[in-house]
Structure 1
């Protein structure tokens, strides 16, 4: 009951914030604006899909700006590592996607501006939204945070076929699949040696799905240690688990690895710490839908 009351309060604040602060703004004039969004509070696969999408546009000779929220410091660090040395893709961290998108649009330097999230920012008028769905669109207050995993209801958005493209991420024939395709040692980059058991330490939006992906890769899971998404104390807490279990192997996500300072990796170079790398697979039909 208390959570349901909190969800009602959350929705009231959400509606008030949109009415006062997030009124529809002006569309971009030069660049194509793409929003990769989801109703979920986290764990929808927005960032992995943004990585694939930017590479897709860059392969066509397009110049791409990728906008991430600076609160997600770990995602920004990971994205900059991935696109380091890639001249056609630049990563920007911002508190205000709308303002930065217009500044970049005025510079005329980019063909596409891709927003990692921004589905809730109703100022982004004229954007094409690629909406990642793992379930049906939420319609009840009880589905909202903190009762459920959703940030808003379907009726809170102007959904139409001209500016929103729903993409299914589950079922037998999904539009998008996220698959772990390699597990490498964090320091030496050697491949997972086939040992059948490993502990999982991760602070991401959907750690349970990460564990399922690890199992699908063929690795048996021992202990699991879950942290909050964007956890700033991940390295110190992870270090403690390493000290408590000196002989165990650990697997973390690529985003978790981006939180670890170079000194941590150097200090633990001889420990069995591995990073699971995820690939994004798009159906042929979905390719035809993309703007």
Structure 2
């Protein structure tokens, strides 16, 4: 099976490339190699490469910047997936598209299911939901995976930011009233590979929306504590900063964050797929990699 991966230089794209096996012929293209916002470029790439599956890892993820850059966010998060969906539909091939917890308002007290009502409260969330809807409207052969709080050894993410800030700050204020499930990009990549393996079967018909995230809900504050505990375990000379819990009101941002971002999906185990990510184990793996 020939798999075209977009957003090849992002966290998920890099994790996917490092894990995909020789059972697949992976063609990974960065945004500079394939601008998914260009319909002509997408059509040319798909026609030339003739993949059997498209995995869209490309996204505009600068949540706060999106508030003043809606056009660019919409272009990448909606127009891009729309172009890929049209190309996939023409070839009759499946499209795996990655989405986010930001399609919800965060007001729930129980985990969000794939069928839960969406109500984004930010430009980023609105553009990602628009991308979902475009994919669903264009091709029936879609798998949309919503995830949250992604971290890895690659790119920019909360884990790397905490370790960097901690090495130069005596104190850090961390939001303690936003709850979610950290998700290791490597585990998400493994789920995508498992889906791809099932898609080799021409009779596969379990298309739709899925949720995948870490297995234990935590606040950003408690996540930071876990990060520093593991960093100290591999670097005994690391000076852990004092952590001060903050409320969302004490840490204003341009975009409104969901207060509650816990995702759940009862259908994944029924398909024999990964149900969730053991983020604490994965965090240790990432910390070890970052420390060489």
Structure with the larger strand share:
1
Which TM bucket (shorter chain)? 0.3 to 0.5
Q: State the TM-score, normalized to the length of structure 2.
A: 0.34
More helix by share: 2
Which one has a bigger Cα radius of gyration? Answer: 1
